[in-house]
Amino acid sequence: MKINIEQSNAYSEVEITIKCNSIDESLENLISSIRLYNSTISGKKGDKIYFLKPEDVLYFDTVDEKVFIYTADSVYETNLKLYEIEERFVGTSIIRISKSIVLNLIKIDYVSPLLNGRIEAVLQNGEKVIISRQYVPVFKSKLDL
């Protein structure tokens, strides 16, 4: 793979062009990483607005129609709807796992099937979230199962 980098003051933003014959698995992973790098997400905490890197997010959760962003050490509120977050991170490790949660798969420590078709995911901070039956096939296909 050839990597060409053009650095100049003429460019106001970073632009990445991929030229390829076909998109294989490793290229898909690379595109997924670029997408994650490219999209920060804003979250409100108190009076301040923070710009968060998606790779720092554990999961997004809806409570009383408000969407919250959970990181390892903080919780932020966002104006984005859950489906908008889901659409924004299509093709990345961030996927919908239930009606109210969008989860970053990278932040899962381990999973346990719950015998009633659901899966419990234990996150790196020890929190537990449930992958509902409806979204188990999506989760499994992400893992090539």
Partner 1 sequence: MKNITIRFFFLGLMIAFTISVLTVTVVMAITTDTAMVPVSLIWQNFVLSVLCSLINLVYRSEKLKFVWQSIIGYILTTAIIISCGLIFDWYSYGGNTFGRTSFVLISFLMYSLFYLMTWIIIWQIAKAKKKELNDKLKEYKQKQ
Q: Which amino acid is at 33?
A: S
* Residues 28-67: x where in contact with partner 1 by CB under 8 A, - otherwise, as a string: -x--xx----------------------------------
Structure tokens at 22: 């076909």
Q: Does 134 bind partner 1 (CB under 8 A)?
A: yes
Neighbours of 59 (CB within 10 A): 21
CA 140, CA 143: separation in Å to the nearest integer?
Answer: 5
Instruction: Identify the bridge partners of residue 61 per DSSP, sorted by sequence position.
Output: 68, 101
Q: Which C-beta is closer to partner 1: that of 78 or that of 92? A: 92
* Residues 84-123: x where in contact with partner 1 by CB under 8 A, - otherwise, as a string: ---------x-----------xx-x-xxxxxxx-xx----
Phi, psi values for residue 142, rounded to 5°:
-65, -35
Binding site for partner 1 (CB under 8 A): 25, 29, 32-33, 93, 105-106, 108, 110-116, 118-119, 130, 132-134, 140, 142-145
